[in-house]
Amino acid sequence: MRHELRYTLSKLDGLHTFGAIPADVAARIHVTPGEHAPVALDGKVQLRRWGFLRRWQGHGGKRGAPIVTAPADFVPETPQLRDAKPCLVFADGVIARRAAIELWVHPEPPRLVAFAGLAETSDDDEVPSFAVLVGPPLVHTIQQAMPIVVAPDCYDRWLGARELVPATHDDWRADAPAKIQNQAQRELF
């Protein structure tokens, strides 16, 4: 079974520094492809669907699966990714797998981070959407591509000049998913 990338947004602390937060933004333990999530784009926080519709429709008019993630090195050679606008995708961790064990990979102490993302609005359904750029794992014990975390002092470089400066991930760790629920409960109560 293929593991579908999911990320967490269990706390909203710090999100307001990017602009007004839409009223329907809520903390969530799992953000999965197809759901709407907050991103920073054009100087404001907005909700967008996670996953681009593919531009090309195959034989019989069938479209492939949405583009949810994209390796950073594929962006220059893929027209749809190259044409999309850079955005910041807010999260506080990633759900990853080591064999059959699900783990929450997050910075310690837990805090809001921004993944490098790309945003577009498809001409077919006119739904604003985004994809997450992926790269090397955030912890060395898990061998799967993970979102690229943008260095906090380089957000403007990514959004303005499309210059991606990854944050160091020396302080990232993997914990049992129960720790996410504890984080979320502190946010809600």
Tens of pLDDT, residue by residue, the chain (189 residues): 345 789 999 888 888 888 788 888 888 888 999 999 999 999 899 999 999 988 776 666 677 788 999 999 999 999 999 999 999 999 999 998 888 888 999 999 889 999 999 999 988 888 999 999 999 999 988 888 999 999 999 999 999 999 999 998 889 999 988 776 655 444 443
pLDDT at 182: 57
Cis peptide bond N-terminal to 109, omega within 30: yes
Residue whose tokens read 């054009």: 42
Residue 52, C-beta contacts closer than 8 angstroms, at least 6 positions apart: 66, 67, 80, 84, 118, 120, 122, 129, 130, 131
pLDDT at 58: 61
Global pTM? 0.89
- Domain ranges across the chain: 6-188
Residue whose tokens read 């502190």: 186
In the three-class reduction of DSSP (H, G, I as helix; E, B as strand; rest coil), residue 75 is classed as coil
Contact present, 5 and 67 (Cβ < 8 Å): no
In CATH, what number does 6-188 get?
A: 3.90.1680.10
pLDDT at 183: 55
Nearest by Cα to 116 from 96, 142, 146: 146
Amino acid at 144: Q
Q: What sign does the dihedral 158-160-161-162 (CA atoms) show?
A: positive
pLDDT at 69: 95
Alpha helices in 22-177, H assignment, sequence order: 79-83, 155-161
pLDDT at 181: 61
